[in-house]
Amino acid sequence: MTTKLIQLEQRISELERLAQEVANLSDQFFQGGKVQPELSTKGEKWYRGARELLVQHSSSGVNRFDDCYSGGHWTIESVIHHERFEAEPNERQLCIKWFKQHLQHARSLVISLVEEVKSRELPVRSALSFALSADEFDTAQELLTAANDDESLLRAAGVVARVALERHLFTVAESRNIAIQVNPPNKQKPEAADAMMALYKSAVITAIQQSELLSLFKIANNCAHPKETVKSADVRRLIERSRELAALIV
């Protein structure tokens, strides 16, 4: 999704530059300048390119965009294809105002497309992340079952469970649009404890759940450090309770 949004933002920037050229040419048009066929050509390039982008991304603003282009008096179409500005003296400023409002509204619909796409795709990304966490819990359980007396497999099971639980907490925060504050601020990125605090402050988890999650992450962290002792019963509790809590914290 990140790559897709970057490409979308780049295309919108290109269209915005073209829209600004149309705006500049229209100013010259209203002042009596000879701007054809450049205004007509660039106006159509912007409109066709912008409209297709809105259609491709199923924008809710396509119909309104079309209204701005040709839905009334002194819309975008009515200006970009005229040779000269013809209006009664007492109507000239009103006509210019109408056109500029139409153009600005249309441009804002294109610019806002990024936010619409983000909101639409967030549930999909969250669903995929939740599914991945569930698979990781299954993998952790399989490693635990196969471990027997193999400490390396036991530790691996704990680490995989930790990854699954951490992923789940961050996904819940993202799906609920909860900001995660980094503590201390000099850390490069937020950690599980930061996600737990954000969820607690937002009343998604209780103080008891937060405390239990911290104890589970302590077990998981021990699994990642060879010098710490790891018990099979602790890893089992880590996996089982993490899965149970993940089902409750959504």
Q: For residue range 154-206, what is the model confidence (pLDDT) as tens digits?
A: 999 999 999 889 888 888 888 788 899 988 888 888 999 999 999 999 999 99
Residue 209: name the closest of 160, 247, 162, 156 by CA.
247
pLDDT score at 90? 78
The CATH architecture to which 122-248 belongs is Up-down Bundle (1.20)
CB atoms within 10 A of CB 165: 28
Q: What is the mean pLDDT of residues 123-135?
A: 63
| 58 has a pLDDT exceeding 80 | yes
| 124 has a pLDDT exceeding 80 | no
- Rounded distance between C-alpha atoms, residue 106 and residue 25, angstroms: 17
The lowest-confidence range among 27-31, 91-95, 127-131 is: 127-131
Q: For residue range 203-228, what is the model confidence (pLDDT) as tens digits?
A: 999 999 999 999 999 999 999 888 88
Peptide bond into 37 cis (omega under 30): yes
Q: What is the mean pLDDT of residues 146-150?
A: 86
Residue 235: name the closest of 128, 170, 146 by CA.
146
The structural domains of the chain, with segments of one domain joined by +, span 2-111, 122-248
pTM over 0.75: no
pLDDT score at 115? 84
- pLDDT interval class at 122 (50, 70, 90): low
What three-state secondary structure class fits 211? Answer: helix
Q: For residue range 73-99, what is the model confidence (pLDDT) as tens digits?
A: 789 998 999 888 877 777 888 889 999
Query: 175 CB contacts (<8 Å, ≥6 apart)?
Result: 122, 123, 126
Cα 185 versus chain centre, distance: 24
CB 160 within 8 A of CB 136: yes
- pLDDT interval class at 3 (50, 70, 90): low
Q: What percent of the chain has pLDDT over 90?
A: 54
pLDDT score at 187? 82
pLDDT score at 127? 55
pLDDT score at 25? 95
Give the orientation angle of helix 38-56 with respect to helix 62-70, to 10 degrees: 160
